[in-house]
Amino acid sequence: MQKPVVYLISDSLGETAEKVIKAALLQFINGQEYELIRTPYVEDKSRIRQVLSDAKKDQAIVGYTLVDPELRQFVMREAVEMQLEAIDIIGPMLEAMERLFQKKPRMKPGLGHQLDEAYFRRVEAIEFAVKYDDGRDPRGIEQADIVLVGVSRTSKTPLSQYLALKSFKVANVPIVPEVEPPKELFETDPAKCYGLKISPDKLNDIRKERLKALGLKEHANYAAPKRIHEEIDYFETVVDRIGCPVIDVSYKAVEETANIILQLQMTTR
């Protein structure tokens, strides 16, 4: 079977189209079996015609996000003429909202990428997550919206960054038996702290892979079952002392864990 090709046409960056197309593609094929060709900042019909012509040669599917109804209709007509499968990703939503709100949309591409207050809040949150990553400075615990607590390799850093993209200031604290956690951890609001629990077997697998990636022997103490059990037991005593929620991340993606935390955040507000 020929490798599927998908063309994305957008009057902005094309991120919306890419996310929707990828989500749909994953229901049929994995991420290595297709090619995405994104064409951003499209403003004229000649450029659209060229992209559609290329898509025709590649026997591709076309997804497009264009706020201008004239350009959307043009894509639709051209695609029909060329016998191309083209999907209008944003058009039906715009038209439904126009009927609901009884007003015309702004017809301004890229509004989601304007440098507004939300953008700067997100940047600030990302900088905060970097500054207070891995317990570097315990002063960040009190300032944080969310504090993650866990042993090494429980995805504290990627989870911090993911939540930062949602504009939450996140600090994370590693739990090591030989090191007393910072006193700030026991003085802050336990409702904003989250323990990241993991099964010993899963942690053992993860740490072995980590050692391999570093070119070290997988039998090092870092991945030894006895050491792992000691760390997890110590983690349990710490989170019990804090009195915070605990999430089992053993078989969860970062996004799944983040969604659980965000839901818990909403219930405690």
pLDDT tens figures, 166-197: 999 999 999 999 999 999 999 999 999 999 99
> What pLDDT shows up at residue 115?
54
Q: How far apart are CA 20 and CA 144, in angstroms?
A: 32
Give me the domains of the chain, ranges plus CATH numbers.
5-113 (3.40.50), 117-268 (3.40.50)
Q: Which amino acid is at 9?
A: I
pLDDT interval class at 32 (50, 70, 90): low
pTM: 0.67
pLDDT interval class at 5 (50, 70, 90): very high
> What pLDDT shows up at residue 116?
66
CA torsion, ordered 68, 70, 75, 80, to nearest 10 deg: 150
* Rounded (to 5) percent helix, strand, coil in the chain: 50, 15, 35
Per-residue model confidence as pLDDT tens digits over 219-235: 899 999 999 999 999 99
Residues whose CB is less than 8 angstroms from the CB of residue 126 and which lie 6 or more positions away in sequence, other chains included: 161, 164, 165
Distance of CA 219 to the CA centre of its chain: 33
Which positions make up the binding site? Answer: 150-157
DSSP state of 222: G
Q: How far apart are CA 167 and CA 169, in angstroms?
A: 7
> What pLDDT shows up at residue 15?
85
Which positions make up the binding site for ADP? Answer: 150-157
Q: How far apart are CA 156 and CA 147, in angstroms?
A: 10
Q: Is 15 exposed, middle or buried (0-12, 13-18, 19+ CB in 10 A)?
A: middle
The CA-based diameter of the chain, rounded to the nearest angstrom, is 70
What mean pLDDT is predicted for residues 53-72? 94
Q: How far apart are CA 103 and CA 91, in angstroms?
A: 15
pLDDT interval class at 13 (50, 70, 90): confident
Residue 1 has pLDDT above 60, yes or no: no
What mean pLDDT is predicted for residues 7-32? 85
Per-residue model confidence as pLDDT tens digits over 85-140: 999 999 999 899 989 999 988 777 766 655 567 878 899 999 999 999 999 999 99
> What pLDDT shows up at residue 25?
87
